[in-house]
Amino acid sequence: MGVVEKIKEIEEEMARTQKNKATEYHLGLLKAKLARYRAQLLEPTSKSGGPGTGFDVQKSGDARVALIGFPSVGKSTLLSKVTHTASETAAYEFTTLTAIPGVIEYKGARIQLLDLPGIVEGASQGRGRGRQVVSTAKTADLILIMLDATKSEEQRRLLEIELDAVGIRLNKKKPDVVFKRKTTGGITLTATVKLTKTDEKTIRTILAGYKLHNCDVMIREDITTDEFIDVLIGTRKYIPCLYVYNKIDAIGLETMDRLAHDDHTVVISCEMDLNLKYLIDRIWDDLGLVKVYTKKRGAPPDLFDPICMRKGSTIEDVCNGVHRSLATNFRYALVWSGKSSKFAPYAQKVGLTHLVQDEDVVSSACLTHT
Ligand SMILES: Nc1nc2c(ncn2[C@@H]2O[C@H](COP(=O)(O)OP(=O)(O)OP(=O)(O)O)[C@@H](O)[C@H]2O)c(=O)[nH]1
Ligand SMILES: [K+]
Ligand SMILES: [Mg+2]
């Protein structure tokens, strides 16, 4: 029996099993098995281009954003509108057959937008080019799930299932669990919070299912059984996601208003050029990008050529962004800002580990090596 059939069998058994206290343990076991087979399905084979391999497109710029959606929702139309790259668009499905990268230039950042073929239900199980598409989604810093506002709400859930099946967790944080393998000593299981969605017995069963007889587990959050399995598998990708409803020119105001108020959601019309600037602004925010200006001693800041960084970047990262030798010759930096410096409008003297924030001006006096 192939892996796909085994997965199907387990899924059927799970569907047949009633969910209650008595079966919780057995269901946990099935879930663990299922997760293992799914992981197997995604393992790259020795042949290149085998399952689990994405499209061969180089990452470029400061971040990568992937467009995921059913056919003909307007992914290529969006790429053609917001980048200088043209991607073929048409009224028939599967117009786009490969990954097409474009670049969004915004606030000093170069954001790679990846147009991808449309996917269908079952993509994660290897139907069509779906597997390749969802594997490529894994390499993104932000996923845009593009939806047709004129179609049923069901599309969104179906896409979420496909991404979930390849180990992508959308808009979720990594569960707060410390897991350490050991060679001896048995299992030490501690929880710093009360577990209401899973229990110790289920967790011990799953550990046994994975043949983990010696390990330390410290659970610091009220996790579910699925989240615990994610921790054990360890290859889950936690990626932010924006739901983009296109073609709002073709729906009523009331529906549009309702969609626009959902979390992580933007409504647009590529054809009528509605809300596209706002979408890019939201992409910038969700990527957690910041721009930093550099300034030479005695000169005004260079407002035309900001350096783009990730949120959480430090002065050291800024140095490395300017020139590799700067951090090694570093003495101190001066930072002007209304946000990260407590002493604005005066400069704050900071070290390499200081975190930079959006719109900071960093003095290049210290950035030039002496
Ligand atoms: N009404 C309306 N139609 C749109 C809009 N944006 C795109 N379309 C139309 O939707 C159809 C599909 O557009 P594409 O950009 O080719 O869609 P796609 O998602 O790239 O499709 P595949 O590559 O086949 O997966 C085209 O006929 C577009 O003209 C929009 O904002 N409103
Ligand atoms: K199309
Ligand atoms: Mg397309």
pLDDT bracket for residue 345 (50, 70, 90): low
Average pLDDT over residues 91-117: 91
Residue 120: pLDDT over 50: yes
DSSP secondary structure string for all residues of 120-162:
-TTGGGT-TTHHHHHHHHTT-SEEEEEEETTS-THHHHHHHHH
ipTM, 2 dp: 0.99
Locate all alpha helices (DSSP H) within the chain, ordered by sequence: 3-16, 24-42, 75-82, 130-137, 154-165, 200-209, 225-233, 253-260, 276-287, 315-322
Structure tokens that stand for 240 in this block: 């932010």
Within 10 angstroms of residue 14's Cβ, the number of other Cβ atoms is 16
Q: Which domains does the chain have, with CATH numbers?
A: 3-43+175-233 (no CATH), 63-172+237-287 (3.40.50.300), 289-363 (3.10.20.30)
pTM tops 0.95? no
Determine the average pLDDT of the residues in 12-22.
89
Residue of 55, 68, 77, 276 with the most ligand 1 atoms within 8 Å of its CB, for mutation: 77
Question: Do 355 and 337 touch, CB atoms closer than 8 A?
Answer: no
Mean predicted confidence (pLDDT) in 263-270: 98
Mean pLDDT over 301-322 rounds to 85
pLDDT of 310 higher than 90: no
* pLDDT reading at 49 higher than 50: no
| Per-residue pLDDT, 294 | 86
Q: What average pLDDT does the segment 359-364 reach? A: 83
How far is ligand 3, taken at its centre, from the CA of residue 116, in Å? Answer: 7
For residue 168, how far is its CA from the centre of ligand 1 (angstroms)?
Answer: 26
- Structure confidence at residue 241 (pLDDT): 98
Query: 77-89, pLDDT tens digit by residue?
Result: 999 999 999 999 9
Ligand nearest to the CA of 148: 1
Q: Give me the mean pLDDT over the 228-244 stretch.
A: 93
The minimum-distance atom of ligand 1 relative to the CA of 90 is: 16
* Predicted local confidence at residue 127, as pLDDT: 65
Query: pLDDT value at position 338?
Result: 55
Q: What is the pLDDT of residues 149-200, one digit of tens each?
A: 999 989 999 999 999 988 999 999 999 999 999 999 999 999 999 999 999 9
